[in-house]
Structure 1
């Protein structure tokens, strides 16, 4: 193919020169003027990004959150909206705004591995941000916006590759995973240069008030003082009302939190029911024998092991057996092994699981899609078998599933099976607004895990009331867990703000 230069421009130029014009085109000038005007940002208030996002219907609270972070928090903030209100959208909007203003070019987004592809899709499709998903051999220096799993980022050689880059913005999803300042991921994030930084979590406090201290310290070191000052001023055991208000005020200077009731959106209700369950006599005998284990030998005196065993017994004999079998290998004396074997013998003779029977009753009464959350995989498998014997179809959900398998399981649950049985990891990264019933078969120590579970169904797009059933066996460790959950919710509400119902409210 031959390419020749056109000489028409010379003839046209000589003609205009001889005739003294025309030298301009009003149409072209107007088009050029309109383009420059559109790109002009006369002041640093208000958002420019929304008019460019044609694939996204932004909600008022999302726009307001983004504006607050940019105008009042200098791009360093905790986005702590309740589950399902669109923290990802807010983060994407903030990043897009900074990109339009020329303040952000390179960005690193750290997320749980299960959410990596979801983030890449959201940024590319909704925000027209060319993000890529990091894999082992990705030449990170060649890409401006990289989405990487937290577990990968904190390890060599990936960690060193990140340190070599000069990122303008860091975004961390599920930031409550940074609550422990002694972990590798916390130290890694702490050492990153953070011109702009967003921490996304619906649960900035999960167990105690010190977790918010460490999160805020990642954004603005010293904002809450040093550890000793914070401990003496805001210890939850001796808080006065004035201390609580002051701490809340300090936290709100770096945190945006929208609640469902404040969004102007009409939300469906939560119907929370705590259901007490009685052990059968045979189950109670095994539970009591487990409780006595600590007096048999120092090998079994570990409080963690005992708590685990007692919780497992409140879940299923299958989960309990696995732990007992491991303990059997550690026995030193014949007395110890004989006692455990005696427990196992009685355990294996159990024919009734009182909690499983109550679960079947609830599912039968609901006559609808139901999610069951359990903490143990052995219980998960048992429940699937038990429900099958009752003619109820179910599918299992596991946090180790790949994205494609997660999507496949979700489709099976939507189109075929009545029940989804999920372990704790099912409380993150799966949205199931078509389901209206959640059974917390095993109660976690952490109230925010309950909120994460419920948030899988009670989120934007839910059209029906959501029914939550918290199961607790009377006169067992589960009664203590219920009491502790109430205390932790109280701490959360004092520092962060009110929480939607996750337990039955006391009168």
Structure 2
């Protein structure tokens, strides 16, 4: 039976109220949500009133989804100024996912479009920028009233407490006092100071100062108190925690070995000799480390990439020979910088290239010509190689992949990764020569080739009339759709692979292997992700004659567990790396300084021992800082959460289906009704009111309340709904049926009931903030006492020096220093109680300010007044 007018009216109000609930975001997004993600989402929302949270789920568990849900909630709550600060290489991927999965439009801001994006007519919305950009434009960005800041890969900020880390300090300045969510799979990477640095961004009151933190937690080892301090700030879920709820396929590793041909071995040695030159005019000193790294990677890619790369270097040298200064020749640098993330430190500490100061111009040109001659030989050698041994290994790898897939009865599909667009072209040509003509696709970010354009046009026709996104997203969708249904091989670059979800393919081939473990994990994660039904094979091509390549592979495979197991680079590897970039530079350093097998083995053994040292018992204790519940309690949390989600969904569906029709002919707001067959707990006459409690015009609670003739209040929703379902309208009344006095009493009771719920919900929030402020107060007072102790120690040292000194002038100098210190101590003593009082007053003000922020001024608005009588 259709609900009557009163129930429909109440459901209309309740539906709007339910839409304000954070859980509404779950039913307004194009993605499956897992319980741990909902838990983290709600944790993040609740934490924002206290400064924010660190969401530290292990890799692959959906921190992006958790943060996107928080952004969605803020956006729907009309808090739309959101700043998303992330590594530059992830900007497009975030933009795509926000648009595709959450229907949120985000703009990427860079230097050239800053004024258009930030100061345009529409200043509201999600702005995406890199860490480097945020630091560079901190002063301008600070002028915007941001509602929320999200950091991805937030461990980049962990060193904010160090005096020489300018980037983190500028971003701290920019985002201070703004609610923030920090995303990182590695909240601790090297020391306990990492977590101190991250928590400082959330709220500096928690640990106060580095010195206080060090004394309390590093020196005293008070991990229990530290864990309690982190409980309200960090939410971390490991893959093993959810393996019973989420299907994880395993990953297995296959290596296809190859050895250089004599020509390739000669070419490799020529490049190695060139890169170890003390002076290379083609490579600027300011970018030498990173450019050398790029060249070494391309050397392992293909002879075709080598020839192209060294031709760029040769062209630079030719221009340099005709130039008057090194700085005037920048042509060709972009070629190398395309391989480097914007967030890498592109410049190095050096004194510049002072070769010009040591020799006259004629001599310098002679050096440059010698370098050109050396590079010419490298280019000639590279161009003389027609068959790459690695290419032969690739054909074998593809054959192995397809044979394995055929045995398993699954689709024959492989994704081949390379870092070079030139090598990508070579791979396609090689595969075509070996019979894979119409089964190959490429994806590299530009996608201007004829075949991609044809696939895109066909996809547009197939999806005519569907909701379309930006052209870049549509091209990506077209490529993925074609690969899934028509093609067998997808050859992609790392830049082109961003945002690709390929869980329908179970084989990844690393044609060339990055030294950055995070990049390798991102590659494998294109296929080994949520929704993958088959075990994933990772096929790597390994040069068995290159001891350095073999040792790097051993570390990636054995120490960091990248290629085997269910979870890949899981929590077991936490802390072993300072960062992917630092690992790359460490490996490069080994390549550059070692020449013999013995030297390589010594350095890689040293690196392996460093990793093992970090796997000690103490480090495991640190990881347990983020384990707040045992399995039984975690299970109960998920059960309660599932029940909550079920009830919310049920209520949302019911109220949505039972809302008041906007075309309802009933217009009067006051009614006299008869209730048949009353067997309820209130008396035969009274009032029922339907309305809403508003705060600053926003609906915060629907009102459904009954007051009977004996002044008894009923607020239980089910009871009143059941009563109204039996209602029969006797009369529609124009004027109010309830006296003003009676109506005010009903409103006061409704507000009283609401405020009790409100303060109960926010009591934990308030107590947590009070505990933080109390802790801050204690630490600040301890700091004063500690300062007294330090001055006393300094005075004792000076007294000892005074006694030991035999030099009269030195004694006079020490005596003056002692008097200054004594004077400083006297001043501090006189001001001590005043300083203590100031600290107490500041703490009290903090509490009052926070309480003031929690204060609301709700009003009760009655929409429908019902006077009822009951009929036995």
Same fold (TM over 0.5): yes
CA radius of gyration, larger in: 2
Tell me, yes or no, if the aligned pair for 1:275 and 1:471 is still in contact at 8 Å: yes
Q: Does 1:93 align with 2:163?
A: no
Matched, 1:123 2:158: no
Once the two structures are superposed, the pairs formed by residues 465-484 of structure 1 within 5 Å of their partners are 465-474=535-544, 475-483=546-554
Task: Please name the residue that 1:191 is paired with.
Answer: 174
Shift of 1:389: 0.9
Preserved contact between residue 277 and residue 354 of structure 1 (Cα < 8 Å): yes
Cα drift, residue 212 of structure 1: 7.2
8 Å CA contact 1:394–1:419 kept in 2: the answer is: yes
1:256-405 superposed matches below 5 A:
256-263=235-242, 264-294=245-275, 298-299=279-280, 304-328=290-314, 329-330=316-317, 332-367=367-402, 368-392=412-436, 393-400=439-446, 402-405=472-475
Q: Is the 8 A contact 2:30 2:100 kept in 1?
A: no
Distance 2:205 2:108 in 1: 33
Q: Any unmatched runs of 5+ in structure 2?
A: 318-364, 403-411, 448-471, 562-568, 578-611, 613-872
1:151-190 pair list within 5 angstroms: 154=133, 162-173=141-152, 187-188=170-171
> Equivalents in 2 of 1:164, 1:449: separation in Å?
35
Is the alpha carbon distance of 1:297 and 1:447 closer, same or farther for their aligned partners in structure 2, counting shifts above 3 Å?
Answer: closer
* Aligned partner (choices 457, 469, 484) of residue 527 of structure 2: 457
Q: 1:423 to 1:175 in 2, by over 3 A?
A: farther
Give the conservation status (yes or no) of the 8 Å contact 1:426–1:453: no
Taking the aligned partners of 1:422 and 1:35, their CA distance within structure 2 comes to 51
Aligned 1:401-480 pairs, distance under 5 A = 402-474=472-544, 475-480=546-551
Deviation at 1:432, TM superposition (A): 0.9
**Cα pair 2:417 2:492 within 8 Å, conserved:** yes
Distance in structure 2 (CA, Å) of the matches to 1:271 and 1:83 = 18
- Output the CA distance in 2 between the equivalents of 1:334 and 1:274: 42
Report what 1:60 is aligned to. 35
Contact 1:131 1:146 (8 Å CA) reproduced? yes
Q: Secondary structure at the match of 2:301?
A: coil
Residues 427 and 185 of structure 1, relative CA distance in 2, 3 Å threshold:
farther
Provide Cα deviations, 1:191-212, integer angstroms capped at 9, x if missing partner: 1355332234557789999987
Partner of 2:92: 113
SS of 1:461's equivalent in the other structure is: coil
In structure 1, the residue matched to 2:584 is none
Aligned length: 459
- Which of 148-157 and 341-350 deviates more? 148-157
Deviation at 1:341, TM superposition (A): 2.2
1:91-120, CA deviations, whole angstroms, 9 ceiling, x for partnerless residues?
2333455678x6x72341526134424313
- Which blocks of at least 5 consecutive residues in structure 1 are unaligned? 1-25, 125-129, 499-505
- Give the distance between the partners of 1:385 and 1:86, measured in 2 at CA: 37
Deviation at 1:280, TM superposition (A): 1.8
Contact 1:116 1:148 in 2 (8 A): no
Give 1:10's aligned residue: none
CA contact (8 A) 1:154 1:185 kept: no
Question: Secondary structure at the residue paired with 2:280?
Answer: helix
In 2, the alpha carbon distance for the partners of 1:406 and 1:418 equals: 17
After superposition, the CA RMSD in angstroms is 4.8
Q: Do the aligned partners of residues 283 and 271 (structure 1) sit closer, same or farther apart at CA in structure 2, a change above 3 Å counting?
A: same
Higher share of residues assigned helix: 2
The CA deviation at 1:429 is 1.2
Contact 2:28 2:102 survives alignment (8 Å) = no
Structure 2 vs 1, CA of residues 159 and 146 (structure 1 numbering), >3 Å: closer, same or farther?
A: farther
> Higher mean Cα deviation, 136-145 or 321-330?
136-145
SS at match of 1:403: helix
Report the CA distance between 1:288 and its aligned residue: 1.6
Task: Give 3-state SS (helix, strand or coil) of 2:541's partner.
Answer: strand
Q: CA contact under 8 A between 2:176 and 2:201: conserved in structure 1?
A: no
TM-score using structure 1 length? 0.72
Query: Is the 8 Å Cα contact of residues 76 and 196 (structure 1) preserved in structure 2?
Result: yes
Q: TM-score, normalised by structure 2?
A: 0.45
CA distance in 2, matches of 1:201, 1:370: 30
Whole-angstrom CA distance in 2 between matches of 1:249 and 1:64: 19
SS of 1:355 mapped into structure 2:
helix
How far is 1:87 from its partner?
2.8
Q: Which residue of 2 aligns with 1:21?
A: none
- In the TM superposition, residue 379 of structure 1 has moved relative to its aligned partner by 1.0
| 8 Å Cα contact 2:302/2:423 also seen in 1 | yes
Deviations 1:347-383 (A, max 9, x none): 2221221212111111122222111111112111111
Deviation of the 1:276 alpha carbon: 3.6
Partners of 1:78 and 1:64 in 2: how far apart?
13
Give the aligned partner of residue 493 of structure 1: 572
